[in-house]
Amino acid sequence: MPVTQSRAKAVEPMYELGNLALMSNAIEHEAGRQVHDQALMIASALQSTLDLDKLIEIFSMEVKSLLPHSGITFTYEEDGKEISHGKSSRHRCSYRLVVAEQALGQLTISRSRPFKQNESMLLEYLLCGLVYPLRNAIMYKHALTAALRDPLTGVNNRSALNAAMVRETELARRHKTPLSVIMMDIDFFKQVNDRYGHLAGDFVLRSVADAVSNCTRCSDIIFRSGGEEFLIVLSNTDTKGAMQLAERVRKTLASHDYHYGEHHILVTASFGVACFRAGESSDALLEKVDRALYDAKADGRNCVRFTAEQS
User: Which residues are annotated as catalytic?
Assistant: 228
**43 vs 126: CA distance, rounded Å:** 8
**228 vs 288: CA distance, rounded Å:** 19
User: What does DSSP assign to residue 10?
Assistant: P
- Of the candidates 258, 232, 229, 224, which has an alpha carbon nearest to the alpha carbon of residue 154? 224
Write the DSSP string, 271-289: EEEEE--TT--HHHHHHHH
Contact 225, 210 (CB under 8 A): no
H/E element, 108? strand 102-111
Q: Residue 15 contacts by C-beta under 8 Å, 6 or more apart in sequence? A: 1, 95, 96, 97, 98, 124, 127
Q: Which class for 226: exposed (0-12), middle (13-18), buried (19 or more C-beta within 10 A)?
A: exposed
Q: Residue 69 contacts by C-beta under 8 Å, 6 or more apart in sequence? A: 60, 63, 86, 89, 109, 110, 111
Our separate counts of H helices and E strands in the chain read: 9, 12
**280 vs 4: CA distance, rounded Å:** 56
User: Residue 42 carries which side chain, given as an amino acid letter?
Assistant: I
3-class secondary-structure state, position 229: strand
